[in-house]
Amino acid sequence: MTTLSRTVGAPVNRVEGKAKVTGEARYAAEFPLTRLAYGWVVQATIARGRVLSVEEEAGMRMPGVLAVITHGNAPRLQVVDDGELLVLQDEQVHYRGQTVALVVASTLEQARAAADALRVSYAAEPHDVLLSADHPRLYAPDHVNPNYPTDTLTGDVEAGMARAEVTVDETYSTPAEHNNPMEPHSSTAQWDGDRLTVYDSNQGATRVHQQLAQVFGLDRSTVRVLSEHVGGGFGSKGSARPQTVLAAMAARMLDRPVRVTLSRQQQFSMVGYRTPTIQRVRLGADRSGRLAALDHEVFEQTSTLYEFAEQTALFSRVMYATPNLRTRHRLVALDVPTPRWMRAPGEAPGSFALESAMDELAEACAVDPIELRVRNDAAVEPEGGRPFSSRNLVACLSEGASRFGWADRDPRPATRRDGRWLIGTGVAASTYPARSAPSTASVSAEANGAFVVRVTAADIGTGARTALTQVAADELGVPLERVDVRIGDSDYGPAMIAGGSMGMASWSWAVVKACRQLRADIDEHGGVPDGGLVARADTADDIAAQANLARHGFGAQFAEVRVDVDTGEIRVPRLLGVFAVGRIINAKTARSQLIGGMTWGLSMALFEESVMDAEFGDYLNHDLAGYHVAANADVQGIDVSWLDEHDDQLNPLGVKGIGEIGIVGTAAAIANAVYHATGHRQRHLPIRPDRVLSP
């Protein structure tokens, strides 16, 4: 086999693009199945208490209804750690919006009509749904997501603060925010005896496959999960959700395929969200701005069903050199749905607090905000002392400053004005872990000259299928057209989910290893025999043998804002991000991912906020009419670039994940720019007009 021109790094169009624009691509709710029935979820209308009764018989009399499944007649499930999956197992209500029944009918319309008419009686109990920094039930969880220490301490923070010449001690907050992927969560299940097949919208068929086997007490060989195309996930589809279990449960009871698709409103209580945070950040430094102490304490919430502790202070364990560093997380279990992953969990809210505090420190020390970050750049990981595999934060700041025109900035706040608009600029730093997880892949050489790659990856809109095609084509030395990458099928073997910015780094490692083995096998056989050849790879041992290094991507975010002095309206005419994220596989989809992350950061800064009603016990704005996200008119000029970074301590391709780092730091850069424009500090997100006008 001869090596052709390489495609890794090129701006290749999506290989599935035509299928998507023509409607040929099938999503979870589009697989045609014989005798398909439809389920509709009935949700609790109290925040805490018990279900007393469900008028099942009345529901069954509705047209087309096949079953009304409640805690009284639902099959018993196996006990698993994730209590959210143990649907309809008892009469307890843990939060408003929890599943209390499933109506199954011949059509979707019939199921929804019957669900709306179903009468459920409750015994309500007093509920508690509000997070506070002095909540009496706050506790220290055993660990924070996914398995980081809850608290860390290096040096003596209090002594460092006492010796500091300049201090910052402020509290920052971020609200609950909800994932809203374009494709709603949907699962279609069918049984063939004891064999379960599920068509599911998820970020990793392997994880859903494992969870379904556990909850139904099945051998994993009897479960198959398919997720061919996914219309967004952002963390909310990182594992099985209640509708997946409900579909499988109903299909088994009725002995026919059942599809359960959540409405937009139902997603606000059933698939996770970003926890609200209250963050106290204390910084101590000398007059030149060099840190003597950093203390980052976080308060956040979880549910009473399943503990999820977001790693919000993790950002501070990585960013800046200081001899005295302390991070802490405290959690309270409330009568609310379980928070889960949401794009850059931990780093997104954590960066807002620390990068805002760093801006405040720069002002207090009369040091340029970029220079302050450069002076505190870390040669080794601040929290653990491990060397970095690569760290190009300073280079990102320098390149960004040049591209943005930072040198022309007047550092004085509230000095630039254009008519009724105040103008300001701000900067913040970004980081995100660069990790890989064990994965498997196989590559087959077909007698007709084609190559088929099979890996249980997920393409949630990121372009993963295309990038893997580029990787395989280069490793095999063949044109892209000869490579067929097949993903989203748990039968292909275990693989990492599309999450934690670990997907491509993990899958590409397995694909590279399998391709190299296949090439060796072809050379050994003197070509491809009539029956073809197959090579399989597993990276578990490779990843376990990695050196003990701190692996991270870094970046710098720059923002220009315009603030209306009369209305408090904020416009963002310019955003710039410069990143050092290892080797880029596809320049076109990478740029799209980074722009998408920065757009979300803008949305986080100015719009996104789930509003809890304490008496009602639920988020009031649980749809896209009330939950505001950035729209086309809000997103103006966004520019992204990346450094040519080579890091051979990561994986065979030197890949760092890019799906999440784009959102990290964006909100802080915008908040810092708003301060520069107005002279008033914004420490609470979102930066609404009323907060601008009443600082």
Q: Is 644 exposed, middle or buried (0-12, 13-18, 19+ CB in 10 A)?
A: exposed
**Rounded to 5°, angle at Cα 237 from 86 and 9:** 155
Q: HSE-up of 91 (CA within 13 Å, CB side)?
A: 12
Cβ-based neighbours of 425, under 8 Å, separated by 6 or more: 404, 406, 409, 558, 559, 560, 561, 673, 676
β 277-285/291-303 pair status: antiparallel
- Cβ contact 313:174 at 8 Å: no
Is residue 59 within 8 A of residue 102, CB to CB? The reply is no
Edge-to-edge strand ranges of the sheet holding 291-303: 152-154, 325-334, 291-303, 277-285, 166-174
- E strands, 539-583, in order: 552-564, 570-580
**Residues in the chain, overall count:** 695
Report CA 29 to chain centroid distance, whole Å. Answer: 22
**How far apart are the C-alpha atoms of 561 and 189, rounded to whole Å?**
49
DSSP 279: E
Contact between 678 and 33 (Cβ < 8 Å): no
Residues 6+ apart with CB under 8 A from 569: 563, 689
Closest CA to 480 of 7, 2, 3, 1: 7
Pairwise CA distance, residues 436 & 505, whole Å: 6
The pair of three-digit structure tokens given for residue 607, joined into one six-digit string: 């719009």
Catalytic residue among 177, 347, 360, 660: 660
Using CB atoms within 10 Å of the CB of residue 274, give its burial: 0 to 12 exposed, 13 to 18 middle, 19+ buried: buried
Return the SS3 of 670: helix
Known catalytic residue at 660: yes
> 371 near 427, Cβ under 8 Å?
no
Distance CA 372, CA 356 (A): 13
How does 157-179 read in b/e, with b if 16+ C-beta sit within 10 Å? beebbeebebebeeebbbbbbbb
d(CA 209, CA 316): 35
Q: How far apart are CA 28 and CA 25, in angstroms?
A: 10
Strands (E), 379-532: 416-418, 421-433, 440-445, 451-454, 483-486
619 phi and psi angles, rounded to 5 deg? -75, 125
- 558 within 8 A of 431, measured Cβ to Cβ: no
Token pair for 424: 């300001």
How far apart are the C-alpha atoms of 35 and 637, rounded to whole Å?
A: 50
**Residues annotated as catalytic (active site), given as ranges:** 660
